[in-house]
Amino acid sequence: MGEKRNYFVTEEPLPTEELIQSVIRPEAGAVTTFIGTVRELTEGKRTLSLTYEAYKPMAEKKLAQLGAELEAKYEGTKVAMAHRIGKLEISETAVVIAVSSPHRDASFKASREAIERIKEFVPIWKKEHWEDGEMWIGDQLENVSYKDQKKPGEEESP
């Protein structure tokens, strides 16, 4: 991975242990790790795989912004987050969030808030591939789909 970065988007498998190690410090009594994986069933529908795309420079800036906000909100925390893009198979890791803090409460809260906020405003798009078709999910909260339209930035076919 080269230089250590606490906030990044990559097509490579996520380095979970490196992210955990990046937040471990002597003053931290708690480290929580959230690992989001590709699940097979969503609302009874069988998923074959997912494809994630991102506006990478902005996504990394937004991850860093979120990390700074969480570190300011939850005193003594240190945060690292990474999201994978490209085609992911069932059970592959899509996102890793590591948070350390002096006490467990702040670590748990910051980790939970991190995953919810990533889904709200980090420019990462998900395409679900099913046995009977596929669809871009407009946002990771799954409130918007691109069933009848292109995702942001996608060109019309000639």
At 105 the three-state DSSP class reads helix
pTM: 0.86
pLDDT computed for residue 158 by the predictor: 45
Residue 37 lies in a domain: yes
Beta bridge pairs of residue 53: 125
Provide the number of structural domains found in the chain. Answer: 1
Residue 29 tokens read as: 């009594």
Residue span of the structural domain in which 113 resides? 7-137
CATH code where residue 66 lies:
3.90.1170.40
Question: With contact defined as beta carbons under 8 Å apart, do 145 and 127 qualify?
Answer: no
User: Helices H, strands E: what count in the chain?
Assistant: 3, 9
In the block, tokens 């997912």 appear at 50
Confidence of residue 3 (pLDDT cuts 50, 70, 90): very low
Question: pLDDT for 51-110, tens place per residue?
Answer: 999 999 999 999 999 999 999 999 999 999 999 999 999 999 999 999 999 999 999 999
Residue 82 lies in a domain: yes
Residue 148 lies in a domain: no
